[in-house]
Amino acid sequence: MRRTTALRTALSALLLLGTWTAAGALPASAVDTPARSTRAPASPALLSAMQRDLGLTRDEAEARLAAEKTAAAVEREARSAAGSSYGGSWFDAGRGELTVAVTRAARADAVRATGAAVRLVRYDARQLDAAKRKIDAFSAPAGVGSWHVDPQANKVVVNVVAGHRDDNDVRAFLARAREAGPVAVRQTPAAPRTFAAGTVGGDPYYTGNVRCSIGFSVHGGFVTAGHCGSPSAAVYGWDRSYIGNFQGSSFPGDDYAWVNVGSGWWTVPVVLGWGTVPDRLVRGSAEAPVGASVCRSGSTTHWHCGTVLAKNETVNYSQGAVHQMTKTSVCAQPGDSGGSFISGDQAQGVTSGGWGNCTSGGETWHQPVNEILNRYGLRLHTA
Active-site entry in 148, 164, 227, 381: 227
CA distance 326 to 354: 11
Q: 92, 255, 336, 345: which is the annotated catalytic residue?
A: 255
DSSP state of 85: G
Classify burial at 57, counting beta carbons within 10 Å of its beta carbon; exposed 0-12, middle 13-18, buried 19 or more: exposed
Beta carbons within 10 angstroms of residue 320's beta carbon? 12
Is the preceding peptide bond at 34 cis, omega within 30 degrees of 0?
Answer: no
Catalytic residue among 249, 250, 337, 340: 337
Residue 202's CB: how many other CB atoms inside 10 A? 13
Task: Confirm whether 227 is a catalytic residue.
Answer: yes
Q: 245-265 burial by CB neighbour count: b if 16+ within 10 A, else e?
A: bbebbbbbebbbbbbbbeeeb
**Chain centroid offset of residue 341 CA:** 6
For residue 346, the cross-strand partners are 284, 343
Q: Give dist(CA 170, CA 166) in Å, integer.
A: 7
**Cα 317–chain centre separation:** 16
Residues marked active site are found at 227, 255, 337
